[in-house]
Amino acid sequence: MTTYFIQAFIYLLAAVITVPLAKRFGLGSVLGYLVAGVVIGPVMGLVGQETSTIQHFAEFGVVMMLFLIGMEIDPKALWAMRVRLLGLGGLQVTLTTAAGMAVAWWLGLQWQTALTVGLIFALSSTAIVLQTLDEKGLSKTEGGRNTFAVLLFQDIAVIPMLALIPLLALPGLKGSSMPSDDLGLSLVVGLPGWAHALVVVGAIAAVIVGGYYLSRPLFRYVVKSGLREVFTATALMLVIGIAALMSLVNLSPALGAFLAGVVLANSEFRHELEANIEPFKGLLLGLFFITVGAGINFEVLVAEWGTVVSLGVAVMAVKALILLVLAQVFGIRSSNGWLFTLGLAQAGEFGFVLLTYSVQNSVIPPEISQILSLVVALSMFLTPLLFIVYDRIVLPRYRRSRNDEREADTIDEQASVIVAGVGRFGQIVCRLLRANSIPIVVLDHELEQIENVRRINIKSFFGDASRPDLLEKAGIEQARLLIVAIDDRDRAVAMVKHVKKFFPAVWVLARAFDRGHGYQLLEAGADDVMSETYHSALELGGHALTAMGVHPMQAKQMTWAFVENERAHDAQLFEAWKEIEEGINFSPRYGELFMKLEEALSTSMQRDWDAPKPEDVPLWTPSDKD
């Protein structure tokens, strides 16, 4: 028992140290987990043979992840993605398998082994890719959606792959294959083909029908107990039960969990299920990534490092080439095409499953399996680095090129008000000014934003508003007001500095992202600064007070008191903030002033408010629409 505690402590300690460091340096959590595994495994030797056993257990995190993904997709959405699912996913698996088989056969492997190698490298890492897409907020992009469709098809394709591999057995390897540990637990072993098919269809039907008709009464019964831990146990029981059923009929547990998630997508218990399963999913996926890093066999890697690295690079290059061609064929252009290509260029965790299964069924020799396992692990290890390349090189270049391909518009109008930036903030300002017949000139460097506001008949010009020549063409010398609402902190500050230096008579109103950015704009010379979330947060806070029983007029008075309290201390906080900007990591004065502000605010909120008179009661209520 002591050994288990020590091993658990080592795994958790490694994750706690390396993952925050990886996130801090912008490397992503997945690479942090992989590095943690390498450190405690091959480097320091703190963990050993148990990593393969733990890895099989941790793979259940993939099952949970697909269950949660299924709950985000209703059946209509699944049907809508059928072209990407079958067309894009089917072609990717087929072409990559063919390419992998050709290379393996050219290297001298028998065609059965070569075909199996092609199947193994046709798969990508569902765990790493979906986790990274979710972390970076790329799941809803065109590239992210197409990537998910291919990964889902790959997970489905594992089923026929597992059925095909035993048919490829090589007579010369049967004496050296390893015995299987799982053959005794199966409902389909020894059944004729038609009976096997009926059992499989029955299992899938049980998941769909049971999930739709039986899950709701079960969860209602559990909820009545009022015990949260019982609901958590029920959620885990549901996912584990589905995985076990799929395993008993030789289907992918991940696929079964995904189907169950789709069935429960419209359930009233959906959000509670997500909240209960999410922590287990994250922990198990992290553990899985650690075991991948810890399971790297450095002895084989050192002895065959040239072969492993060459094959790893070749696999990723061939897959990337095929994916890039498919992206062009299916119209996945620009940065989305590169996200699709770089995101799926690796081998995946199901490759370990197929490798083990292939050795057990005398299709791949054990010595070749060890090398291929290292190739799979290496490609997974390099995947977070590919996402970093996408973030720091590909995406900025496409953003610049898209905007730089087009020259700035010829500005043929001038007005007393210039609006720089027409995103979600600037659009509201423009609509308000236009509704009052105030002439404006609108500038923005994002082509999409310009096209959007033109659709609502706001005339705007494409160009970088921070460029002095464009500001002069827009009439900054005669303008009365400049509204800075661009979505770039540094450019906004630089623009304010330039305008106040050369055109001091222009009144500058600037949007700030937070308090620190607001102080920077004030220091640059802005005449008035407004935080983009300040008033909306005040409004919501007033509604929250009213919802808790405070009279609407008193809630309004309290929000006004909040504003006055902020204004009373703002100048002092601004001066103290300058100390921080000058290099003092922690300004005691700033901290003391902020605490003073909080105390004054608390005192102001606790004073006795005058009861509102009938004529003072506002016309709005919390349910009114603004």
One-letter amino acid at 93 equals: V
Q: Is the pLDDT of residue 623 over 60?
A: no
Task: Report pLDDT digits (tens) over 440-454.
Answer: 888 887 766 777 777
**pLDDT tens digit string along 187-218?**
777 777 678 788 888 888 888 888 888 888 88
The answer to whether the CB of 147 falls within 8 A of the CB of 339 is: yes
Task: Classify residue 119 by burial, with Cβ atoms within 10 Å: 0-12, 13-18, 19+.
Answer: buried
Q: Is residue 595 predicted with pLDDT exceeding 80?
A: no
Which amino acid, one-letter code, is at 409?
A: D
In this prediction, residue 105 carries a pLDDT of: 93
Task: Pick from 87-91, 272-276, 485-489 the range whose average pLDDT is largest.
Answer: 87-91
pLDDT of residue 357: 77
Nearest by Cα to 387 from 154, 152, 64, 124: 124
With a cut of 50, say whether residue 613 has pLDDT above it: no
136-164 average pLDDT score? 83
pLDDT tens track for 216-232:
888 888 888 878 888 88
Residue range 42-67, pLDDT digits in tens: 778 777 666 666 766 776 777 787 78
Q: Is 226 helix (H, G, I), strand (E, B) or coil?
A: coil
Global pTM reads 0.61
Read off the pLDDT band of 624 (50, 70, 90). Answer: very low
**Residue 291: pLDDT band by 50, 70, 90 thresholds?**
confident
The most confident of the ranges 118-122, 393-397, 589-593 is 118-122
Position 409 scores a pLDDT of 58
Asked whether residue 176 carries a pLDDT value surpassing 70, the answer given is no
| Length of the chain in terms of residues written | 626
Mean pLDDT calculated for residue range 98-124: 93
The answer to whether 61 and 289 are in contact (CB under 8 A) is no
Residue that wins the pLDDT comparison between 339 and 186: 339
Residue 626 has pLDDT above 50, yes or no: no
Mean pLDDT in residue range 307-312? 91
Intrachain domains 2-399 and 406-532 with the same fold: no
With beta carbons less than 8 A apart as the criterion, state whether 352 and 380 touch.
no
Whether 168 shows a pLDDT value over 70: the answer reads yes
How far, in Å, CA of 63 to CA of 67, rounded?
Answer: 6
For 303-446, list the strands marked E by DSSP: 417-420, 440-444
Task: Tell me the CATH number of domain 2-399, given options 1.10.760.10, 2.30.110.10, 1.20.1530.20, 3.40.50.2300.
Answer: 1.20.1530.20
On whether the CB atoms of residues 89 and 152 are closer than 8 A, the answer is yes
Looking at residue 593, its pLDDT comes to 65
H helix count then E strand count, the chain: 29, 6
Q: What is the pLDDT of residues 4-36, one digit of tens each?
A: 788 888 888 888 888 888 877 766 677 788 888
Q: Does pLDDT of 288 surpass 50?
A: yes
Rounded mean pLDDT of 373-389?
87
Dihedral (CA of 521, 451, 389, 83) sign: positive
Percent of the chain with pLDDT over 90: 12
- Highest CATH level, class, for 406-532: alpha beta
Inform me whether the pLDDT recorded for 617 exceeds 50.
no
Sorted by where each begins, the domain ranges of the chain are 2-399, 406-532, 540-626
Q: Is the pLDDT of residue 571 over 80?
A: no
pLDDT band of residue 327 (cuts 50, 70, 90) is very high
